[in-house]
Chain A
Amino acid sequence: MKPVLLSLLATLACQAQAAPVEIKAWRHDTGDAEMIASGQMVERFNRSQDRWKVVVESIPQGSYTESVTAASLVGHLPCVMTIDQPAVPNFAWAGNIRPLDDLLPAAVVAPLLPGGRGVYDERLYSVGQFDVVLALFARRSALAREGVRVATIAQPYTAQELYDIVAKVKSAGRYRFPIDLNGKAKGEWVSYGFSPWFQSAGADLIDRADYRRVDGVLNGAPALGVARYYARLFKERLAERNPADEKGFEQGRSLIQYTGSWKARDYAESFGDDLVVMPPPDFGHGPRVGAASWQWAIARNCRHPEGAAAFLAHVLSAPEMAAMSRATGLIPVTVEAAALTERYRPGGDGRVYFDFAARYAIPRPATPAYPAISAAFEKAMSDLRGGKDPDEAMDEAVEAIEYDIARNNGYRNIHAREAASK
């Protein structure tokens, strides 16, 4: 009797152990290709081992922040989730996610380019598979027709040159709005797309030495120069203030479009060899692009961090990264993964984007104040488009950001908080 009972118990115990532990994950819902690739990646992870089973819930991207914030308010976050990289410091500061340094093996983390990391307070909090860069897209034939040279990495357009080109093209009459600045996109696009212009001029969103001072950085002379430039593009109707759609360049209504490399694939398909990809304009210190996109993080109250970490390690492996890149056309964040893809390996036709990232990328400031910075910046740009005086617009942004920082006690980290409470 006893041996039977024992073996029964043993079988039951084995089965209980054999059932994989479920790990809940949330990801933002994007276009088809990325969702399918993501699903397949999760499938492969679940099949490759039987300890963990990742179950993904997809949440519409437009309302993702609201959903995640609401859930974090009441402690309903899942184990793993995607976060847009610049928001990671704010999440980490709030205590919602945990550091990854001890959970992920060094071999996995070390090869990641800056675009694949989300760092706060010198700890790693999120990791990503891909990066995006900014570029000026145009059609070779159209440029030739208007008598405009093609910019290259060696010789990008200077800001003044770009302005002259666009003004000249406008007066030639074929294009009503020669440059398309992706005006239909709102939200993070504005900060992502246009803060590099400020950085290219020598200004910045915040003083990165202590992440507290904004006065003089965002409204100093170089910053005001960029602000005036931006306002001028709209005042002289070189760019459309409120476009109806994002298809201006695609449908030939604009000569040049400034947007992210996520359009690279569609445009390459539509225009083939006629497409020319140029660096963003140089405002004095070399062209700059933003860095980092959506990344994966682990929640603080996750009950199975090892499982979550195993999933993340799988996500960062070179073959998976390459697979994602192949499916979506986005840029991988390790050299090894890039070598596995046709587009981004040395000599591939997408290598130019990989080089942009390596040369020009500046990540957005890694401070919990970033959501406030982004909101204030977006409003300032919107006011500039509406014709507000650049001095006033930038001053207002500076004051809003510094007020937010003060109101949050400087966003001090946990050590400072503990020290202060003693």
Chain B
Amino acid sequence: MKTILGRDHPLAVSGFAGPALILFGVFVLLPLLLAAAATFTNHRLVSPEPTRYVGLDNYTRLLALQVTTVAPLRDAAGDLQRDEEGLRYPTWRQVRQAQPDLAGYRPAWQFELGERRVVLAATDPLFYRSLINTFLFALLVLPLQCGVALGLALLVNQRIAGRIFFRTVYFAPVVTSMVVASIVWSFMLNTDRGLINELLRALTGNPDAGPDWLGESSHALLAIAIMSAWQGAGFQMLVFLAGLQSISSELYEAATLMGANAWQRFIHVTLPGLRNTIVFVLVSTMLMAFGLFTQVDVMTSGGPLDSTTTVVYHAVRSGFRQQDLGYGSTITVVFFGIVLLVSLLQRVLLAKGAK
């Protein structure tokens, strides 16, 4: 085949790259473009009204944010009112009545600063909360899943009896559908009768031990993170395994000859040899974490108190269940942009680190 200097023959290239690129173009990129186009309209899932162009309305609704402070309630004498939960503040309706430019806004986050309450109000507070929930989830799941996966891979890589059995057992969760896994885990996480709390009660000897895993906003996301790590670790274990097995055994022999012990071998031979694999596992786990949806849908429906609502869940709920397709697509497009930025940032940092 004749080749241009430094380039391969275009026919060969299109033969190899063509099929996949066409499939990507038609079945992924085209729908994405359609979804992006929908963000500028008020397109609804099922509606007799014609779709209208609405410009940036969807985006303003998604992103508008305001910060405001609220003073606590005072009684007739001018003293601060208190109840069992602390200072008493006016309800949001009352706050809005006092500050008319907050019309259409609801609180996204609020915290107390001294005697005043600072409120971040948004027209779609759920979007911001879901952004934070999603990143929080990724932060929880990444070390859990990847760390466990690496450990499992190291264990299973040993030349011991029954390693195929163990490998299958560790991989088994990956094989179950997320729907089934979510159902079984919600049994196990049940506050009173679930296995996990039962174990905690047995271990600590305290009959009241065991939090309300899926019912408390402080625990639900962690529970889902643990469950997701359980489900995904087996797969990353395989990837690590492939990486481990591609490290030449001669390097290990050389290190042993130089007097390195197991830990030193790990640090100086295994980890560097796994560098590409580690990057791959971290990046792919993070990206899959950003797409969290099924577990939330089955186990908590975004609750309790919106603590497990992720961006994808919010988008699906808005677009499909509340039937507001234009808005659902907007959430998606903005999120896609954010994640792209994060991946770009990552690549830049990694490239710098490699130098």
Contact = CB atoms under 8 A, between A and B. Distances in A.
B93 A94 contact: no
B304 A382 contact: yes
Contact of A386 (B193, B304, B322, B324): B304
Interface residues of A, number: 38
Interface residues of B, number: 33
A318 B322 CA distance: 38
Contacts of B42: 407
A158 interface: no
B141 to A, nearest CB: 22
A404 B322 contact: yes
A396 B49 CA distance: 26
Contacts of A414: 48
A285 interface: no
Contacts of A383: 303-306
By Cβ-Cβ distance, the 9 closest A-B pairs, closest first, are A386-B304, A244-B190, A386-B305, A241-B215, A94-B46, A95-B48, A242-B215, A382-B303, A391-B91
Contacts of A186: 301
Interface stretch (A65-73, A146-154, A333-341): A65-73
A60 interface: no
B277 interface: no
Contacts of A243: 190
Interface in A366-404: 371-372, 375, 382-383, 385-389, 391-392, 395-396, 399, 404
Interface string B194-215: 1000000000000000001011
Nearest to A400: B322
A131 interface: no
A399 B317 CA distance: 17
22 contacts: A69-B46, A73-B45, A73-B46, A94-B46, A95-B48, A186-B301, A242-B214, A244-B187, A244-B194, A382-B301, A383-B303, A383-B305, A385-B215, A385-B304, A391-B93, A392-B92, A395-B91, A404-B322, A404-B324, A407-B42, A408-B47, A409-B49
B191 interface: yes
B191 A372 contact: no
B336 to A, nearest CB: 23
A94 B49 CA distance: 8
Nearest to A241: B215
Contact of B217 (A66, A93, A386): A386
B49 A408 contact: yes
A176 B192 contact: yes
Contacts of A241: 191, 212, 215
A240 interface: yes
Contacts of B186: 242, 244
Given A95-B48, A375-B321, 20 more contacts: A69-B45, A176-B192, A186-B301, A240-B192, A241-B212, A242-B186, A242-B190, A242-B212, A371-B321, A371-B322, A372-B322, A385-B215, A386-B215, A386-B217, A391-B91, A392-B91, A395-B91, A404-B324, A408-B49, A409-B49
Interface string B313-328: 0000100111110000
A66 B320 contact: yes
Given A242-B215, A375-B322, A392-B92, A387 B305 contact: yes
B70 to A, nearest CB: 13
Nearest to B191: A242
B62 to A, nearest CB: 13
A90 B321 CA distance: 13
Contact of A417 (B45, B48, B217): B48
Contacts of B46: 69, 72-73, 90-91, 94, 96
A98 to B, nearest CB: 13
Contacts of A244: 186-187, 190, 193-194
Contacts of A91: 46
Contacts of B49: 408-409, 417
A330 to B, nearest CB: 27
Contacts of B187: 244
Interface in B307-348: 317, 320-324
